Structure 1
Amino acid sequence: MGFVQRVASEVAYLNGALRTLSKVTPIAKNKTRTYCDVVEGLAVAHGDKPALISERETLSFRAYDRRANRYARWARAHGIEKGDAVALLMPNRPEYLAVWLGVARAGGVTALLNTNLTGPALAHCVNIVRPKHIIVETSLLDAFGTAECHLDPGPRLWCHGAEAAGWSRIDSLVDGLPDAPLPAGERPALTTDDRCLFIYTSGTTGLPKAANVNHYRVQGIMYAFSAAMAVSSSDRIYVCLPLYHSSGGVLAAGAALTAGGSVFIRERFSSRQFWDDIVDNDCTIFQYIGELCRYLLNSPTHPKETKHRLRLASGNGLRPDIWQAFQTRFRIPKILEWYGATEGNAVLFNFDGRVGSVGRIPKWAERRFLTEVVRFDVEAEQPVRGPDGFCVKCPPGEIGEMISEIVNDPTKPSQRFEGYADAAATGRKIMTDVFRKGDRWFRTGDLMRRDAQGYFYFVDRIGDTFRWKGENVSTSEVAEAVSVFPGVQEANVYGVRVPNTEGRAGMVALVVEGDLDLQAFHTHVCRQLPAYARPVILRIQSEISTTSTFKQRKVDLVKEGFDPAGTPDPLFFLHPGLQAYVPLTPGLYSDIEAGRLKL
């Protein structure tokens, strides 16, 4: 990095850090001011200016505030006391944000249920928060019905949007309630330490966990990212990510609203609809996550894809292999990549746009942002302890687990950790006695490397990285190498067990355009990857299964393995004798299983 670049980077990070801290630090110092109070002030300041916009409905700042007051009255009238939970299953729309704000004003906690879940998984999410009431959009009643037999008894059921036999209808009831603020005598005494929301982890490696999101964290997320993006009242943020996750429903929406800007809400992401929405609704910022950018890049040219007024794309998960192509094709002036998790206390920003980096902590900021990368044992899935019993910090360039110290200090506002509804799940994320006796650190579960300038680079999720031929294989790095091959639209890399071998062999599920040129693909992976990292088995699929936030699902693929009898998908095998990918026949599979064909 040259002198001019170094100076520019330092200035970008200094300005970004100062903006962010100036917005977040006061939240920690004013414990009685919550987002409920913030919206009252926004309603006075911005009145009838559009706040939440969608094809279904539009709410001005005043209407948003008043609609929430109606829900607060409903909650108070139906027994919601401070700390009581209400579960919400509703698609993206402005009403969604009014529901949970109203419940919060009554002192309640809204559990934001994933609209893609069904059956036991959905019931699990409800049961772990023990709600008094469950609100379900009528269009989702059939999906909810698959979970009912697994639910613990107790919650009262409410439908929203249309009448349904056996259900109480909440929206028509709420319509008849006053929209004035709750009288002082009916308002619970809330502080920033009180719970506001339960937001669930994505559940890519097991059942979702309900993260405790208190009033401090709600405001902290909103104001920190509003400052990082330098949002103003003239901005309009496009949100097509689920409102039941923090990225769409708290971070993006709140970043705009707290600055007096507006939010356009799409029910779900559509690559065909995306640029029409951006241009037709005059959006200036959009929020991305996971593979959304890759989907757009793989889509046909859209007549409006460069006719927008966007000034910024903000999100996490933009992979280095498509970063520049994405920014160039769609003429995005600036990309703000960041790293964070709903429940986590490690937050990084890539303020200067370093391609591939998830953010940086300059030397001068290390005392304020207490984050380290520690040596990690992939097989044991645990950080390495030295002879003194403490963890070992990785030198620049070495891959390890990123951890962040847990402290409750207004001068270090990002370092808090509120845990989960499940105390055992909370305990599994905390390490103690890491660098000194009695310290407590949050385990991110992410493998990172940090360079000498303090830039962090995401490598893999713990559990995704696997060992093969005595080496650690990063699924994300293999996916990046594979994805740039012509015709490959998406790649999901994982490791599978092979009898009579140590470790796991690399397997990749591919979505390709047309027929895959196996010979050219083999040449490509040999050039791009060391021998131990080259995929041993290929699986061609029509689409890759993902979560609602575009995180690739691997658990089922790992379980299915590579038996040709277990899938209709074409399978190919890197034959060690032929040094070429060949169809994986039942006979070849039998030879591998029996150990007659050594990998």
Structure 2
Amino acid sequence: MNPVAILTREFKFFQDAQLLKKWTGDISPDSDFLVADDFERAVDAHRGNIAFRFEGKSTTYGEFDALASRFANWAMAQGLKPGDCVALYMENRPEYVAAWAGFAKAGLVTALINHNLEGEGLAHCVNIAQAKLIVTGSDQDAPIRAAMGLISGSPPVWSLGGKFGADLGGALEAFSEKRPDRSVRKGMLGKDLCLYVYTSGTTGLPKAARLTQARTQGMMRSFVAPCRITPKDKIYITLPLYHGTGGLCGIGQALMTGATAIVRRKFSASAFWDDAVNEQATAIVYIGELCRYLLNSPPHPKERAHRIRTGFGNGLRPEVWQAFLDRFNIPHLCEFYGSTEGNVSFLNFDGKVGAVGRIPGWLKSQFANIAFVKFDIETEQPVRGPDGLCIPAAVDEAGEALGLIGDDVRQRFEGYNDQKATEKKLLRDVFTKGDLWFRTGDLLRKDKDGYIYFVDRIGDTYRWKGENVSTNEVGEALSRVGGIKTANVYGVAIPGTDGKAGMAAITTEGEVDIAGLYKSLAAKLPSYAVPIFIRVQPEAETTGTFKYRKVELVADGFDPDKVNEPLWMFDPEEAAYVPMTQGRYDRLVSGGFKF
């Protein structure tokens, strides 16, 4: 890169960093200006603007605030006090946001529960939050009825449009749309709890991440500056509102600025461009797999006729990134790295493909609370030196990202409502005896120019033939093979071998030459990274936020008695994939194949 380009990029980074600081600089754990105040300030500035577009109907900021105030006044009439928790189990709709915004006005804590959950998972989320009341929507009658026997204390259920539980819609009409006085929240500070947002449960039951008022405010403001949002923008949100990216960052990007949130019940690749054009969207919120779905979809007549100028999200893989921008003519995307509960986050200000953010040399001191340390894949623990302390990762070396835990709003880690789960995320004695850091559980690397790249989730990276294998790298190679639609890669143990062998669950569109797939992959990957097993699924198994589920796949392994789908294995004698038969399975587990 020439010197002029470098200076231009550095200046833009500085401008964006200053804009971000302007939007987030007044957030403090000790402030009494809370989430409800942020909402009300925006309403007072933009009362006549359209806050929501949903299924052809508009809701102004004034109407949104009136409904939120009804929710607040109703909740207080139920005897709920500041600090009490309400479980919100409802499909995407404007009332979802009005409900938790209203509960915030009353000083209540809201548990944002995945509306796809059922049974034990649903009951677990309600129980761990100790919810005193459950609010549902029109689609949750059957699952909430079935789960009630597992929910502690049998909290009352109120439904907005459903038939199980009391009629919340009728009840709200009896309450005032006047805002509760701020004295209701007297004594509350930014460090107090606002929300529970749950992990997606890809490795067991969801964990309830504790979001304070200040943390929620920060998330809602974070992408206003990088995407340069104004009251004229219309932000298309197809992600679930129970999730931090769509429900807090996306909603906040709109409602903190006077812009419009275009909300859809759920993502639809076939309807995406019709919605974007018809609603005149100017910005989007994405998850990487959403972009992949759109890229894998047939051409749409409106896919370049839209007005989208920007967007933000995470998980956009390099092999999708540039192709997505080029095909759909979107000028700017702001990729970020971070977790709902964590204290490590990055923003890709300048759009460098593949990077999740950057730490320029001149800002290194301001990122002293973030570190990348050498990591042992086999033990799944950071490497420690003779002095017992962790060792910084080298330039371009993948290491676990850690965040120093402190009192600043950006360094706090509030943990989960499960102390054991919280303790697993803590790492002590990292660089000095007694220090305390947050474990992201992710491997990242930093290049010589300060760009940060996501490598893999810890546990997803596995070791085979003495080498570390990144599931993301293998998944990207598979996705470049014609006919393969999605690829979910994981490691499985083979009796009598060290480490874990690679296995991929794929979905296809059109014909895929599985027998000849090995040769294609061997040209793209090191030999040790080519998967030993291929499983062909009709549909990929994902969470509500499009993350691949792996626990069940790992449990099934490559046993033909457990897998009722086409299953292939690499036969080293034939140097090709062959169908997994019972005979081959028996020979494999008895050590009859040498890889």
TM over 0.5: yes
CA deviation digits over 1:539-564, x for unaligned, max 9?
Answer: 11111100111101111000001112
Which deviations, in whole Å up to 9, do the C-alpha atoms of 1:193-245 show, x marking residues without a partner? 11111000111112111111111011111122212221111111110000001
**CA offsets 1:257-308 (integer angstroms, 9 cap, x no match):** 1111110000000001101111110110000013000000010111110000
**Superposition map of 1:48-59 within 5 A:** 48-55=48-55, 57-59=57-59
Counterpart for residue 574 of structure 2 = 578
Cα distance in structure 1, aligned partners of 2:14 and 2:453: 20
Match of 2:235 among 237, 240, 247: 237
Question: Could you tell me which residue of structure 2 aligns to residue 294 of structure 1?
Answer: 292
1:44–1:526 Cα change, 3 Å: same
Contact 2:223 2:312 in 1 (8 A): no
Q: Is the 8 A contact 1:82 1:188 kept in 2?
A: no
The residue aligned with 2:362 is 364
Is contact 2:29–2:214 with CA below 8 Å preserved after alignment?
Answer: no
Residues 1:184 and 1:109: Cα distance change in structure 2 (over 3 Å)? closer
**Counterpart amino acid of 1:46?**
H
Return the alpha-carbon distance in structure 2 between the equivalents of residues 298 and 249 of structure 1. 26
Contact 1:399 1:448 (C-alpha < 8 Å) held by counterparts? yes
Q: Is the 8 A contact 1:340 1:347 kept in 2?
A: yes
What's the counterpart of residue 108 of structure 1?
108
* Partner-residue secondary structure (3-state), 2:18: helix
Instruction: Read off the aligned partner of 2:324 and give its amino acid letter.
Output: F
Aligned partner of 2:332: which letter? K
Counterpart of 1:294, as a letter, is R
Q: 1:446 to 1:34 in 2, by over 3 A?
A: same
Q: Which residue of 1 aligns with 2:383?
A: 384
CA distance in 2, matches of 1:259, 1:353: 23
Task: Go from structure 1 to structure 2 and tell me whether the alpha carbon gap of 1:59 and 1:360 turns closer, same or farther (over 3 Å shift).
Answer: same
Of residues 536-545 and 51-60 in structure 1, the stretch that sits farther from structure 2 once superposed is 51-60
Give the whole-Å Cα distance in 2 for the aligned partners of 1:321 and 1:279.
Answer: 26
| TM-aligned CA deviation for residue 459 of structure 1 | 1.0
Which residue pairs with 1:222 in the alignment? Answer: 220
Return the alpha-carbon distance in structure 2 between the equivalents of residues 457 and 187 of structure 1. 42
| Aligned-partner Cα distance in 1 for 2:469–2:113 | 34
Structure 2 gaps, min length 5: none
- CA displacement 1:358-381 (0-9 Å, x = unmatched): 111112222223211101111111
CA contact (8 A) 1:336 1:349 kept: yes
Matching residue within 409, 418, 421 for 2:414: 418
Change (3 A) 1:514 1:189: same
Q: For 2:152, what is the secondary structure of its paired residue?
A: coil
Mapped contact 2:202–2:551 kept (Cα < 8 A): yes
C-alpha separation in 1, matches of 2:22 and 2:429: 32
CA RMSD of aligned residues (A): 1.5
Give the corresponding residue for 1:587. Answer: 583
Q: How does 1:116-515 map to 2 (within 5 A)?
A: 116-164=116-164, 167-183=165-181, 185-369=183-367, 370-409=369-408, 413-515=409-511
CA distance in 2 between counterparts of 1:407 and 1:538 reads 45
2: CA distance, partners of 1:56 / 1:332: 25
Tell which deviates more after alignment, 469-478 or 39-48. 39-48
> 1:69 — aligned with what?
69
Distance in 1 between the 2:96 and 2:40 partners? 18
Give percent identity, aligned residues only. 46
* Contact 1:103 1:110 (8 Å CA) reproduced: yes
Distance 1:288 1:218 in 2: 19
CA-CA distance at 1:439 after TM superposition: 2.0
Q: Could you tell me whether the CA contact under 8 Å between 1:460 and 1:474 is conserved in 2? A: yes
Secondary structure at the residue paired with 1:273? Answer: helix
Query: Counterparts in 2 of 1:516-531, with a 5 A limit?
Result: 516-531=512-527
Contact 2:82–2:107 at 8 Å: present in 1 too?
A: yes
Q: What SS does the corresponding residue of 2:25 show, helix, strand or coil?
A: helix
Cα shift readout 1:467-520 (whole Å, capped 9, x = no counterpart):
111111110011011111111111010111111111111011111122211354
- C-alpha distance in structure 1 between counterparts of 2:521 and 2:433, whole Å: 47
Taking structure 1 as reference, are residues 103 and 543 closer, same or farther at Cα in structure 2, changes over 3 Å only? Answer: same
| Whole-angstrom distance in 2 between the partners of 1:94 and 1:189 | 29
| Contact 2:210 2:416 survives alignment (8 Å) | yes
Q: 1:392 to 1:62 in 2, by over 3 A?
A: same
CA positional deviation for 1:163:
4.0
User: Using a 3 Å threshold, how does the CA distance of structure 1 residues 30 and 128 change in structure 2: closer, same or farther?
Assistant: closer
Specify whether residues 2 and 146 from structure 1 end up closer, same or farther in structure 2 by C-alpha distance, changes over 3 A only.
farther
Q: Check whether the contact 2:465–2:499 (CA below 8 A) recurs between aligned residues.
A: yes
Which residue of the partner structure matches residue 27 of structure 2? Answer: 27
Gaps of 5+ in 1: none
Alpha-carbon distance between aligned partners in 1 of 2:341 and 2:183, rounded to the nearest angstrom: 33
Cα deviation for residue 188 of structure 1 reads 4.0
Task: Report how far residue 4 of structure 1 moved.
Answer: 3.1
Paired amino acid for 1:385: R
- Give, in whole Å, the separation in 1 of the partners of 2:8 and 2:30: 34
TM-score of the pair, normalised by structure 2: 0.97
Cα shift readout 1:511-546 (whole Å, capped 9, x = no counterpart): 112221135422221111111100111111111100
Give the Å deviation of 1:44.
Answer: 1.9
Partner residue in 2 for 1:566:
562
1:100-137 Cα shifts (integer Å, max 9, x gaps):
01111111100011011111111111110101101111
CA distance in 2, matches of 1:138, 1:324: 39
Q: What is the CA distance between 1:187 and its match in structure 2?
A: 4.4
Query: 1:92/1:186 Cα in 2 relative to 1: closer, same or farther (>3 Å)?
Result: same
CA contact (8 A) 2:136 2:162 kept: no
The answer to whether the Cα contact below 8 Å between 2:372 and 2:445 also exists between their aligned partners in 1 is yes
Query: TM-score normalised to the size of structure 1?
Result: 0.97
- Alpha-carbon distance in 2 for matches of 1:208, 1:391: 30
* Comparing 144-153 and 569-578, the one that deviates more: 144-153
- 1:571 deviates by 1.2
For residues 1-26 of structure 1, what are the alpha-carbon distances to aligned partners after superposition, in whole Å with 9 as ceiling and x for unaligned? 43233223312221121111121111
Where does residue 529 of structure 2 map in the other structure?
533
Q: Say if 1:25 and 1:183 are closer, same or farther in 2 by CA, change over 3 A.
A: closer
